[in-house]
Chains A and B, each alone.
Chain A
Amino acid sequence: MEIKILGSGCAKCKSLYEITKQAVEALGIEANLVKEEDMMKIISYNVMRTPAIVIDEKVVSQGKEHTVESAKKLIQSLL
């Protein structure tokens, strides 16, 4: 599973990355976690609000707040 966090470097994007990292660790799954800060690449996903979460190339969340719990739920639903 590849999880990308799209965001160009503001605090919210960084914290979503941290939260997702914790969620992945808590779930104990094998996942490749990437922070995508390149604007061109972010645009290519057609997201309009960052931060956004992309799992296996599908946008699963954008502009939404997350806790470790909700991130876990999100990831689990796609396993």
Chain B
Amino acid sequence: MIQKLADWIVFSLFEIDATSHLGKALNFFLYDTTKILILLFFISIIMGIINAYFPIERLRNYLISKKMYGLDYLLASIFGAITPFCSCSSIPLFIGFVKGGIPLGVTFAYLITSPLVNEVAVAMFIGSFGLKITAIYVASGILLGVVGGFILGKMNLRPLLSDWVKQIQIDQNAETQQFEAENTSFLERLPSIVNDAWKIVKGVIIYVIIGIAIGAVMHGYVPEGFFQEYLAANKWYAVPAAVILAVPMYANAAAIVPVIDVFVAKGIPLGTAIAFMMAVVGLSLPEATLLKKVMTLKLIGIFFGVITLFIIISGIFFNIIL
């Protein structure tokens, strides 16, 4: 339906040739932008609702009190997936977990999945790749968190936390003295949630436009199969190269998915593209800077290194199954 509108605007209203590069690029741009902004808005609302009712204090206490034989990694990872990744929350949350005596590995599981799976990435993925691929992305983001967190947990990394964090005593009674001033009904809360969703959309709209613009230009002007020569799946170095290239890059998920979409359309294998995206979105310089407060450089290095390795493995795996 949106496609028809985009078609009409570009080809009928402005009478641009449908086979021209400009025509294709413009059409793609209009279609994708509209579709994605609508999707993003609705998914943000859904995430906002889930989030508003998610009892983090209860989760933390649950994680502390029960012996879960690995299930706690899964819960932390799922929690990372559904909560929005406000990077400034990652430190208080990290500390909160440490104070609660939650194993480091479980905290890592959260830290790994949180930036990877967020409402923006999900919306963009559904828009560009459909439900099935999105589900695979979300599942692998969570799996990455669980496995990565587990392995990191086994590595006895506590000595590598920053001095500042080590001083923070485990204080199991450190529950937030939260004043339950809010017994607002769902309907009363909905306006705030919708408002917040709208703010999220407003916040990323410029990146979406930039990303889609880049994607649109590539879509219209880069020949089909262009990337096939250099980054085909059968070249063993393709996935590691793409991932390592992507780690120091940081782009908003909003901007990068349209670019990934075009990569795939122009010949990059889907697995490589997904791995690239995970590396761009999940590991970044800004995140490393934030983590410096709680981790020594060595630990950040190990953290990034392990995740990079697993992203590479995932990329190769996806290339096989997709």
A→B interface (CB under 8 Å): 7-13, 15, 39, 42-43, 45-51, 55, 58-67, 69-70, 73-74, 77-78
Contact = CB atoms under 8 A, between A and B. Distances in A.
Contact of B195 (A60, A61, A67): A67
B88 A7 contact: yes
A73 B168 CA distance: 35
- The 3 tightest CB contacts between A and B, nearest first, are A65-B196, A48-B96, A8-B88
Given A50-B86, A65-B48, A43 B192 contact: no
10 contacts: A12-B86, A39-B293, A46-B96, A46-B174, A46-B177, A48-B97, A49-B89, A64-B182, A65-B195, A69-B191
Contacts of A11: 203
B179 interface: yes
B89 A63 contact: yes
A37 to B, nearest CB: 9
B88 A62 contact: no
Contact of A74 (B175, B177, B181): B181
B182 A59 contact: no
Contact of A47 (B168, B176, B179): B176
Nearest to A65: B196
Nearest to A42: B92
Contact of B177 (A15, A59, A67): A59
Nearest to B290: A8
B136 interface: no
Interface in B51-102: 51-52, 56-57, 60, 83, 86-89, 91-93, 95-97, 99
B193 interface: yes
B86 A70 contact: no
Nearest to B96: A48
Give the bracket for the number of chain B residues in contact with chain A. 35 or more
A48 B60 contact: yes
Contacts of A55: 179
A46 B174 CA distance: 7
Contacts of A10: 86-88
Given A46-B176, A60-B178, A65-B48, 18 more contacts: A8-B91, A10-B88, A42-B92, A43-B91, A46-B175, A47-B176, A48-B57, A48-B93, A49-B86, A51-B86, A60-B179, A61-B181, A62-B178, A63-B51, A64-B182, A64-B192, A70-B184, A77-B181
B88 A13 contact: yes
A39 B91 contact: yes
B298 interface: no
Interface in B165-185: 168, 174-179, 181-182, 184
Contacts of A61: 181-182
A50 B92 contact: yes
B87, B181, B189 interface centre (most CB from chain A within 10 Å): B181
